[in-house]
Amino acid sequence: MRAKYITGESQDAAEELAVKYFECNREDITFEVISGEEGSSWNLLAMVGTRPEIVNQNASFNVFYESDGVYLELYENRGAGSPLDSFALLQHLTRKNISGLMANAVQELINRGFGRMRVAAPQSEYVYGEDVEFQVTNDEMTAFAILLAPEEGGPAISFEMVLNKLRNEGISHGVDQDAVKRMLESKDYGESKTIATGTLPVEGEDGKLIFHFSTDQKTGRPKEIANSGGRVDYRTLDLFEAVTEGQLLVTREAATEGKPGYTVKGNIISQKPGKEAIMPRGKNVDVNPEKTHMFSKCSGMVQFINNAINVSSLYKVNGDCDIGIGNIEFDGSVQVSGAVRSGHTINATGSVVIGGGVEAATIIAGGNVEIKGGMQGGDRGLIEAGGTITALYIERGTAIANDSVFVDVCIKSNIESGGSFVAKGKRGAIIGGRVSVAGDITANYIGALSNVQTEVEVGAMPRKRARLQALEQEQEKLAGEMNKLVQLKAYLSKMAGKLDQEIWDKLFYSGEENRKIYEQNIEENDAELAEIKREIENATDGKVHVLNSVYAGSRIIIGSDTYKVNDDIQFATFRYSEGQITYGPCEKSKGS
């Protein structure tokens, strides 16, 4: 539909002017009188179109360049027609480049909704061509383009012109030139098209350690005999892995820096560099100067305990450890095929395996301890292990393990474990004494029908806390030594050229060597401190699992609460919740 406001000296004169303007018959025009009376000018709205088009016409506008000025005409919507698109009108006026456009007059006419108003002084009409406008998301990761339609006879916009406009808008990264070409070819005016995409940063990968031996926890856990109803074979255990001299143990892969990202406007998005892996501490190992490879210094067995790699040789005793053998102190592991008699001591930096039983003796190991025949301690027997302790039974003895403890029966003994305590087997019982562990306690029975006093505690780590205190004191000492080295370096800087060069060099290189050693020690201590603090923070996570019965007379301690068992309780799991101990059905089964 076409429309035009017409002014004439009379209604007939105005209608005649409309016929000339639209170049059609009078019958093809629908007239609507805006104003007029005899003796004055008449203002008509002339419309050309079908009856349905006129009845339901959309609001529209038109601009006329006349001798006395530029005029804007608005035609209101009718019936089911759409209201005026003010944005489209203002965009059209902007693109027409009308000089001296009177914004107040335009707004007044928009508010009125229809009519004709002079909006600028006389001037030549500018016919605009295709154009493009851009939108960038708040995070500057995506840019969109909207192709604007030209007026009739207006020129098309070129590919080079679009690229130049992108540069002027600061959109410089991730521009999809093919998408720009497709937009210009498709002529989908008014549709938003993605034409530039930012690049997300590539985060750096953490460095990692590749172990060339099994680091599975060497718990010494006995294997269950197939189809035996839960019986286990205490002679078949996983204790250590053999290595040869010069064997590659660990490879350290360096962290990567990653790559920065960029917004569509070329702004850098910083990446997070990877964190370097730290080569573990070790004994009887060699590390290359770049700290990328660790090798075994000798043949023997390798263990990974408490974030340290230890390679140690094996000391074997065929028979009993008795007066004919004497006490054993060995930098490595010890294997005794027989028993360890009362009064004897075995002190090994590695693991200790006893084929028979242990009487009132002392067994100290940096690794795991396995006693196939159990311990009859006579209230004087002691077992200390940096790893796990596995024994058929422990009676009237003391056992302290940094890791877990596995027994069939524990009778009137004092047990301390940095891991868990498991009493499972034919009996699977804790009878009398005290068991304190950092992790969980699992047993078939706790206490006895005779109501013997039995105490179990989870979340207890006195040795861990002592180690934490020792490490913190060591860090303070190392910090003091590092401060002395800083003072030495400052002194040498002042004395350069004044002090005898040989003495100066000796002090300087000695200080640098000590600095490297102290820095490595501080780094290793920090890692161990973090691990111990994490374990202490989770101290109340431990649980006590009773697969059969916990008898009256037993005491269960978790965190700051103590539960006194006054009546026998069957098949239960005790846990710490909101400051007190509660229990429910056992979370473990006899086969688990």
Q: What pLDDT shows up at residue 253?
A: 94
Which helix (H) or strand (E) element contains residue 502? helix 501-537
Residue 88, SS3 per DSSP: helix
Burial of 256 (0-12, 13-18, 19+ CB in 10 A): middle
Q: Residue 556 in contact with residue 575, Cβ under 8 Å? A: no
Pairing of strands 69-75, 60-66: antiparallel
Q: Cβ–Cβ contacts within 10 Å for residue 225, how many?
A: 12
Phi-psi sector, 79: left (phi>0), alpha (psi -120 to 50), beta = left
- Across 406-428, average pLDDT: 92
Q: Residue 424 is encoded by which pair of tokens?
A: 């499972």
Burial of 363 (0-12, 13-18, 19+ CB in 10 A): buried
- At residue 221 the predicted structure's pLDDT band, cuts being 50, 70 and 90, is very low
Residue 431, SS3 per DSSP: strand
Q: How far apart are CA 468 and CA 74, in angstroms?
A: 84
Q: What pLDDT shows up at residue 381?
A: 96
Answer whether residue 219 shows pLDDT above 50. Answer: no
pLDDT digits (tens, 9 = 90+) for 363-411: 999 999 999 999 999 999 999 999 999 999 999 999 999 889 999 999 9
Q: What pLDDT shows up at residue 465?
A: 67
pLDDT digits (tens, 9 = 90+) for 536-558: 666 677 899 999 999 999 999 88
Q: How far apart are CA 368 and CA 403, in angstroms?
A: 9
Residue positions counted in the chain:
592
Answer whether residue 502 shows pLDDT above 90. Answer: no
DSSP state letters, 213-249: S--S----PPEEPTTSSS-EETT-----EEE-TT-EE
pTM greater than 0.75 = no
Q: In angstroms, what CA-CA distances link 274 with 202, 206, 523? A: 10, 4, 18
Q: Residue 150 is encoded by which pair of tokens?
A: 């030209």
Q: What pLDDT shows up at residue 234?
A: 37
Whether the CA torsion 19, 20, 24, 25 is positive or negative: it is positive
Q: Could you say which DSSP state residue 306 is in?
A: T
What phi, psi does 400 have (nearest 5°)? Answer: -130, 120
Q: How far apart are CA 550 and CA 569, in angstroms?
A: 5
Beta strands in 438-541 (DSSP E): 441-446, 454-458
Pairing of strands 429-437, 409-417: parallel
Q: What pLDDT shows up at residue 166?
A: 95
Answer whether residue 218 shows pLDDT above 60. Answer: no
Pairing of strands 345-348, 328-330: parallel
Q: Residue 334 is encoded by which pair of tokens?
A: 């010890």
Q: How far apart are CA 327 and CA 323, in angstroms?
A: 8
Residues contacting 426, CB < 8 A, separation 6+: 231, 408
Q: Cβ–Cβ contacts within 10 Å for residue 166, how many?
A: 21
Q: What pLDDT shows up at residue 349?
A: 85
Which helix (H) or strand (E) element contains residue 410? strand 409-417
Q: Which residues are registered as beta bridge partners of 285?
A: 296
pLDDT mean across residues, the chain: 89
Q: In angstroms, what CA-CA distances link 357 with 177, 328, 342, 395? A: 81, 16, 11, 11
pLDDT digits (tens, 9 = 90+) for 67-117: 999 999 999 999 999 999 999 999 999 999 999 999 999 999 999 999 999
- Closest C-alpha to 65, from 24, 120, 107: 120
Whether the CA torsion 536, 541, 546, 552 is positive or negative: it is positive
pLDDT digits (tens, 9 = 90+) for 120-177: 999 999 999 999 999 999 999 999 999 999 998 899 999 999 999 999 999 999 999 9
Whether the CA torsion 411, 416, 422, 425 is positive or negative: it is negative
Q: In angstroms, what CA-CA distances link 212 with 209, 245, 249, 315, 351? A: 10, 14, 5, 25, 21
Q: What pLDDT shows up at residue 316?
A: 83
Lowest mean pLDDT among 22-26, 201-205, 230-234, 238-242: 230-234
Q: In angstroms, what CA-CA distances link 586 with 407, 409, 544? A: 20, 20, 9
Residues contacting 484, CB < 8 A, separation 6+: none
DSSP state letters, 526-584: HHHHHHHHHHHHTGGG--EEEEEEE-TTEEEEETTEEEE--S-EEEEEEEEETTEEEEE
Q: What pLDDT shows up at residue 578?
A: 82
Q: Residue 464 in contact with residue 532, Cβ under 8 Å? A: yes
Answer whether residue 356 shows pLDDT above 70. Answer: yes
Q: Cβ–Cβ contacts within 10 Å for residue 231, how many?
A: 13
Per-residue burial over 194-218, b = 16 or more CB atoms within 10 Å of its CB, e = otherwise: ebbbbeebeebeebeeebbbebebb
- At residue 222 the predicted structure's pLDDT band, cuts being 50, 70 and 90, is very low
